[in-house]
Chains A and B, each alone.
Chain A
Amino acid sequence: MCVGLSAKVISVKDGVAMIDASGAKREISAELLDDLEPGDFVMVHAGCAIAKITDTDSSESEKLSKEHLS
């Protein structure tokens, strides 16, 4: 129940953010996250930004591997 897509925030106004996912733009709710700013990357699900994204999957995998799998 979790199809999500990462997208870049273009603008935020009155709890609504315009996001850009590889060129696909849409308005979504920004209410679930505090201090969302243009340039932030967010995870989008069902019309809401549900989380800020703080890293790429590859770089995160690398760090996790070092910590848990070496």
Chain B
Amino acid sequence: MSSSELRDYLQNYDGPEIRIMEVCGTHTHEIFRQGIRNFLSPKINLISGPGCPVCVTPASYIDEAIYLALEKNVTITSFGDLIRVPGTSSSLQKARAEGAKVKVVYSPIDGEKYAKEHPDEQVVFLSVGFETTTPSDVIAVRNAIRDGIGNFSILTANKTMPGAYEAMADSTDCYLYPGHVHAIIGTGICKDLQKRGVSGVIAGFTGEELLTALAIAVRKHSEGGPFYVNAYPRVVTDEGSPAAVKLVDEFTRPCDAMWRGIGMIPGSGVELKEEYSSYDARKKFDIPVLEKEYKTACRCGDVLQGKIRPTGCPLFGKACNPDHPVGACMVSDEGACSAFYTYGGSL
């Protein structure tokens, strides 16, 4: 079908109601950017799930980074996404204005390179992300070991998806699986979930790919029964990238992880193995436990779980907006609240 035929199909769908959770923040962003929500049939309800790593990263993580920058005089290297994220009382953007050295990089591998070129600075990379990004973080650590670099380490908040799939399964009729996560880990988990009654479609990221994946989800749902379709086979193979999985396994181990708004998901975090602890910034700099989550009326957690829409939060668009984000969902472009605020309103 052409884009316009797919659009007509999704617009005129009149079968059983369906809740589709896009797990990936990049999907959320593209769905808004393409204006897809605005023509979907009212029978199709999209839920923006927990797949924005910035959103599910606890505020205390930002506090740790600011502590390193201001108290330990560390040069922070980071993806641009984290710069405006609020910690409990400040952000890296504000810390930078106070003199913290914060450098935005394109890749963790560039963070390691920067450390190599600046041997007189301690350099920490803020390692957030899912399975798609973790291999880059691990390569950066591996390069540091290879290059004999002693002034580079990473502050891990990496997470893995399968635990979240389990935790959120009741909130949706069908997952839109994040294509690039499965490009790394393969499709085994999706098939297992199907066997346990959880449906999903692996989706790509262009407008046409998203429409195709949504149309397939809707059609399969109307036919009944748990289903799984890889609607992104040009990138996602069943085996994924064994080299990436091997690399990550070699350097890291699973740990329990706090997901902002969702809570603890056992085994859903990633940390460096004990033998690489000199590259683990938390251990290297002996960061004190900074776990005072601030209390507000922010309902990011309910948004992430699809219990309410961003507009259902009392702070949305008032106390909380992209210039003054309260919850992390408002900070990242991928955050459900930011996307609603930016692209929302009615057309």
Q: Do A's and B's CB atoms come within 8 Å in the complex? A: yes
B52 CB contacts on chain A under 8 angstroms: 1
Q: In the complex the two chains form, is B136's CB within 8 Å of A57's CB?
A: no
Contacts A46-B132, A47-B106, A47-B110 aside, 20 further interface pairs with beta carbons under 8 A come to A1-B53, A1-B180, A2-B130, A2-B180, A4-B26, A4-B180, A29-B136, A31-B139, A32-B247, A48-B136, A51-B180, A51-B183, A51-B235, A51-B237, A54-B233, A60-B209, A60-B233, A61-B209, A62-B1, A65-B6
Which residues of B line the A interface, CB within 8 A?
1, 6, 9, 24-27, 51-53, 79, 106-110, 129-130, 132-133, 135-136, 139, 178-181, 183-184, 204-206, 208-209, 211-212, 215-216, 219-220, 229, 231-237, 241, 243-244, 247, 334
Q: In the complex the two chains form, is B208's CB within 8 Å of A47's CB?
A: no
For residue A56, CB closer than 8 A to chain B, the reply is: yes
A43 CB contacts on chain B under 8 angstroms: 180, 183, 235
B243 CB contacts on chain A under 8 angstroms: 31-34
A33 to B35, CA, bound (A): 34
Which residues of A line the B interface, CB within 8 A?
1-4, 26, 28-29, 31-34, 43, 45-48, 50-58, 60-62, 64-65, 68-69
How many residue pairs at the A-B interface have CB separations less than 8 Å? 134
Please pick, from A1, A26, A50, A56, the residue contacting B26 in the complex, using a CB distance under 8 A: A1
A35 to B216, CA, bound (A): 33
Q: In the complex the two chains form, is B108's CB within 8 Å of A2's CB?
A: no
A60 to B236, CA, bound (A): 12
Q: In the complex the two chains form, is A68's CB within 8 Å of B234's CB?
A: no
The verdict on A69 contacting B25 (CB below 8 Å), with A2-B181, A47-B108 known, is no
Please pick, from A3, A26, A50, the residue contacting B183 in the complex, using a CB distance under 8 A: A50
Q: In the complex the two chains form, is B179's CB within 8 Å of A60's CB?
A: no
Q: In the complex the two chains form, is A65's CB within 8 Å of B220's CB?
A: no
Q: In the complex the two chains form, is B235's CB within 8 Å of A32's CB?
A: no
Q: In the complex the two chains form, is B24's CB within 8 Å of A2's CB?
A: yes
Q: In the complex the two chains form, is B180's CB within 8 Å of A68's CB?
A: no
Q: In the complex the two chains form, is A64's CB within 8 Å of B181's CB?
A: no
CB-CB nearest 9 A-B residue pairs: A47-B107, A55-B234, A2-B180, A51-B183, A2-B26, A65-B1, A32-B244, A46-B136, A61-B212
A46 to B77, CA, bound (A): 13
A49 to B67, CA, bound (A): 33
Q: In the complex the two chains form, is A64's CB within 8 Å of B205's CB?
A: no
Please pick, from B178, B235, B244, the residue contacting A1 in the complex, using a CB distance under 8 A: B178
A46 to B107, CA, bound (A): 5
